Chain A
Amino acid sequence: MLHLILFLFFGAICVAGAVNLLAQSHPINSALSLIAVMASLAAEYLLLGAEFVAAVQVIVYAGAIMVLFVITIMLLNAGKEERSKGSRVAILVGIPGVVIGGVLVAWTLLHRSNMQAVPIGALKGDPSDIARLLFHDFLLPFEVTSVLILIAIMGAVVLASRPETVARGARKDEG
């Protein structure tokens, strides 16, 4: 019972944060609502028994990535957005899209409701279980993904640095 109340409570915060994210006109308020969404998602994971995932969600998303967002907004000194009337494409495609998506979700929920609910703690959520999956069962995909991320980081460094510094560095290597 307590679980259900907390689940609904954090779910409500999550949805409210997401709506507020879109409604706010100032980027920093939007970023802060996104942090609220991330944090309440972490609380939901915690309620599902996935303690490690919850902690990582807070540390990585709410703690690290969103701090970088906030720093960027602060550095750019971004002001209030201008309100536009909204694009026609968004209205023509977006509203039917939302309706179709909602119908699909509702249909799936109604027709699959005979599936049994998973009891809390039945899924693997322990740090040791996740470690076994990552470093034993799925070692190769994990390592390949990390190499991919490394390549992406190096690409970002090359793209972000000014061309002349790259050229100078290359010449230094030759000489």
Chain B
Amino acid sequence: MPAPHENTKDISLSITTFIIISIIKSVAVVGVLLTAVAYSVWLERKVSAHIQNRWGPTRVGPFGLLQPVADGVKFIFKEDLTQPHVYKPLYIAAPIISLVFAITSISVIPFGNWVNIGPWGTYLQITDLNIGLLVVLGITSMGVYGVALAGWSSNNKYSLLGGLRASAQMVSYEVSLGLSLVGVLIMAGSLSLREIVDAQGGVFWGFIPRWNIFHGQTVAFFIYLISAYAETNRTPFDLPEAESELVAGYHTEYSAMKFAMFFMAEYANMVTVACLATLLFLGGWHGPIFGPPILQAVMPVFWFCLKVFFFMFLYVWVRWTLPRFRYDQLMAFGWKVLLPLAVANIMVTALIVAWRA
């Protein structure tokens, strides 16, 4: 793989080529993301079934692999009810806000290294910003509005409680999530996701990869993992939609495609969070590379996808293993355990880095 010249990026290309390449990349990435979202739902149903000693979806296609298509068709043809008591503009806007922000955050995620296709070359990333990580954090922090407004505009007490819980939880855990990343930033000395991954190349003692999880950020990794579960409202932190107390939480009043948009947003957020964990703690696309040249070109993307898949599997595994927290436990855990731990991790990392420098 030819090493990209510094700052080659897409600047050397003509503006038309740049626009065409950008459009192709955007369409491809969003397509892959939506497919991944659809198949995470399938994965969730299948894995949960096997955990409970059932079969899960088997009827549509081999191993039920066409189930997401059937689900999609069903969602489109369901009756789209809008209750008379909702506040209509925000009721309609809320699922759109959720889904748009969930999908947008994929735009700065790098999937692999530089590739050359014929005369053109590009990074496997829609756009490389030198504040990539902050962009992802900013976009995810805007995603809270979708949930909060859905809860409020439904004009239903269960929805409102769900929306309030969700926004309080997401704001609280965003603090420890953000702080858990600072250690990684100190190690890499950059906010660009590509440079953070590049800083994790190489191995210790010949066999342990130099990923951040093995390189002093183990505690940060687990803080990130736990906060990420809370950020995406997944079990054991799925209080916003706790069905035993709140019917379905903030999306109680939603049906058909509007409900499906919340559903897709949840899974798209999970994919983004898994991508970030891969990039920041598990070395991104780094992994053993061997074989013929064509295989070598594909291997980094394969390693990246494998690590993301691992996180998606972990999500499902945790969901069907752990019970739900109580709300006060959730808040106490976030503020009294994760936050001090994250701050301590930053101080220790900073001291060690300063001492070595």
Which of B66-74, B144-152, B315-323 binds A? B144-152
CA distance A39 to B142 in the complex (A): 10
Give chain B residues whose Cβ lies under 8 Å from the Cβ of A47: none
Give chain A residues whose Cβ lies under 8 Å from the Cβ of B148: 67, 70-71, 74
Give chain A residues whose Cβ lies under 8 Å from the Cβ of B76: none
CA distance A58 to B164 in the complex (A): 21
On whether A74 and B152 interact (CB within 8 A), knowing A59-B141, A63-B141, A64-B141, the answer reads yes
Bits for B57-71, please: 1 = Cβ < 8 Å to A, else 0.
Answer: 000000000000000
On whether A67 and B144 interact (CB within 8 A), knowing A28-B152, A51-B131, the answer reads yes
B116 contacts chain A at the CB level, 8 A cutoff: no
A56 contacts chain B at the CB level, 8 A cutoff: yes
On whether A52 and B171 interact (CB within 8 A), knowing A64-B141, A67-B145, the answer reads no
Which of B132-140, B210-218, B280-288 binds A? B132-140
Q: Is the CB of B164 within 8 A of A59?
A: no
Q: How far is the CB of A69 from chain B (nearest CB, A)?
A: 11
Q: How far is the CB of A71 from chain B (nearest CB, A)?
A: 5
A21 contacts chain B at the CB level, 8 A cutoff: no
Bits for B158-202, please: 1 = Cβ < 8 Å to A, else 0.
Answer: 001001100110010010000000000000000100000000000
Chain B interface SS verdict (over half): helix
Q: Is the CB of B151 within 8 A of A74?
A: yes
Give chain B residues whose Cβ lies under 8 Å from the Cβ of A126: 130
Q: Is the CB of B145 within 8 A of A35?
A: yes
On whether A56 and B142 interact (CB within 8 A), knowing A74-B163, A74-B164, the answer reads no
On whether A55 and B145 interact (CB within 8 A), knowing A67-B167, A75-B164, the answer reads no
The total of chain A residues at the interface (CB under 8 A) is 21
Q: How far is the CB of A30 from chain B (nearest CB, A)?
A: 13
B90 contacts chain A at the CB level, 8 A cutoff: yes
Residues facing A in B104-137 (CB within 8 A) are 129-131, 134-135, 137
Give chain B residues whose Cβ lies under 8 Å from the Cβ of A67: 141, 144-145, 148, 167, 171
Residues facing A in B234-285 (CB within 8 A) are none
Q: Is the CB of B151 within 8 A of A58?
A: no
On whether A74 and B160 interact (CB within 8 A), knowing A51-B129, A56-B134, the answer reads yes
Q: Is the CB of B164 within 8 A of A55?
A: no
Q: Is the CB of A127 within 8 A of B131?
A: yes
On whether A70 and B141 interact (CB within 8 A), knowing A51-B129, A127-B131, the answer reads no
CA distance A59 to B130 in the complex (A): 16
- Among A39, A55, A62, A64, point to the contact of B171 (Cβ < 8 A): A64
A150 contacts chain B at the CB level, 8 A cutoff: no
Q: Is the CB of A63 within 8 A of B138?
A: yes
Q: Is the CB of A62 within 8 A of B134?
A: no
A68 contacts chain B at the CB level, 8 A cutoff: yes
CA distance A55 to B134 in the complex (A): 6
- Among A58, A68, A70, A75, point to the contact of B145 (Cβ < 8 A): A70
Instruction: Across the interface, name the chain A residue whose C-beta is closest to B185.
Output: A127
Q: Is the CB of A127 within 8 A of B160?
A: no
CA distance A41 to B32 in the complex (A): 32
Q: Is the CB of A70 within 8 A of B167?
A: yes
CA distance A62 to B140 in the complex (A): 11
Bits for A70-110, please: 1 = Cβ < 8 Å to B, else 0.
Answer: 11001100000000000000000000000000000000000
Q: How far is the CB of A129 from chain B (nearest CB, A)?
A: 12
Give chain B residues whose Cβ lies under 8 Å from the Cβ of A32: 90, 149
- Among B129, B138, B167, B168, point to the contact of A59 (Cβ < 8 A): B138
Give chain B residues whose Cβ lies under 8 Å from the Cβ of A71: 148, 164, 167-168, 171
CA distance A65 to B151 in the complex (A): 19
Q: Is the CB of A55 within 8 A of B90?
A: no
- Residues of chain B having any CB pair with chain A under 8 Å: 90, 129-131, 134-135, 137-139, 141-142, 144-145, 148-149, 151-152, 160, 163-164, 167-168, 171, 174, 191
- Residues of chain A having any CB pair with chain B under 8 Å: 28, 32, 35, 39, 51-52, 55-56, 58-59, 62-64, 67-68, 70-71, 74-75, 126-127
7 new A-B pairs (CB below 8 Å) besides A58-B139, A62-B141, A68-B171? Answer: A51-B130, A55-B131, A56-B134, A59-B141, A67-B144, A70-B152, A71-B148
